[in-house]
Amino acid sequence: MWRALAAASAPARALCRAPPPPPPPRRAASVAVSPAAGPADERVETRVAGLEPGQPVTLRAVAADERGCLFQSCAQYRADSRGQLHLGTDASHGGDYTGVEPMGLFWSLAPAGMERPYQRLVPRSTGTPMKVEVLVHQGHSLPGAFPGPVVAKAEVERWFAAPGVRRIRLKEGGVRGSLFLPPGDGPFPGVIDMYGDEGGLIEFRSSLLATRGFAALSLPYFDFEDLPKVMKELKLEYFEEAARFLQRHPKVKGPGIGVIGTGKGAELGLSMITFLPEVVAAVCISGCSSNTVADLHYGEMTLPGLRFDMNKVSVSDAGVFDTFEALDDPTNPANSSCVIPIEKAEGHFLLVVGEDDRVWKSPLYAELAIGRLRQHGKENFELLSYSGAGHRIDPPSTPFCQAKATTIKEALAKWEEKNGQKASEAKEVKLYGQIPPVERMDESLSTLVNCEKLSLSTNCIERIANLSSLKNLRILSLGRNNIKNLNGLEAVADTLEELWISYNFIEKLRGIRVMKKLKVLYMSNNLVKDWAEFVRLAELPLLEDLVFVGNPLQEKYASDQNSWIEEATKRVPKLKKLDGILVIKEEEEEEGTN
Q: What are 507-561's pLDDT values in tens digits?
A: 999 889 999 999 999 999 999 999 999 999 999 999 999 999 999 999 999 889 8
Residue 288 CB neighbours (<10 A): 28
**pLDDT confidence band for 223 (50 / 70 / 90):** confident
283 backbone dihedrals φ, ψ, rounded to 5°: -105, 115
Single out the residue of 34, 35, 29, 95 nearest to residue 59, CA to CA.
Answer: 95
pTM of the prediction?
Answer: 0.76
Beta bridge partners of 177: 170
Q: How many CA atoms lie within 13 A of 398 on its CB side?
A: 16
* Contact (CB, 8 A) for 278 and 257: yes
pLDDT of residue 388 exceeding 90: no
Name the pairing type of β-strands 110-111 and 45-49: unpaired
β-bridge mates for residue 99, sequence order = 92
Task: Say which DSSP state 29 is in.
Answer: P
Average pLDDT over residues 580-585: 81
Confidence at residue 6, expressed as pLDDT on a 0 to 100 scale: 42
The pLDDT of 390-411, averaged and rounded, is 87
Phi and psi torsions of 71, nearest 5°:
-120, 145
Q: How far apart are CA 507 and CA 209, in angstroms?
A: 33
Number of C-beta neighbours around residue 315 at 10 A: 14
pLDDT digits (tens, 9 = 90+) for 14-70: 434 555 665 555 569 999 999 999 999 999 999 999 999 999 999 999 999 988 889
Mean pLDDT (the chain) is: 90
Angle at 364 between CA 363 and CA 366, to 5 degrees: 65
The residues, any chain, with a CB within 8 Å of residue 533's CB and separated by 6 or more, are: 507, 508, 509, 553
To which H or E segment does residue 59 belong? strand 56-64
pLDDT in tens, 149-167: 999 999 999 999 999 999 9
Phi, psi (deg, nearest 5) at residue 193: -120, 125
- Asked whether 94 and 78 are in contact (CB, 8 A), the reply is no
Q: Which pLDDT does position 24 carry in this prediction?
A: 54
Q: What is the CB neighbour count within 10 angstroms for residue 544?
A: 16
Q: Return d(Cα 209, Cα 41) in angstroms, integer.
A: 10
Q: Where are the alpha helices (DSSP H) in 97-146?
A: 104-107
Decide if 379 contacts 407 (C-beta within 8 A): no
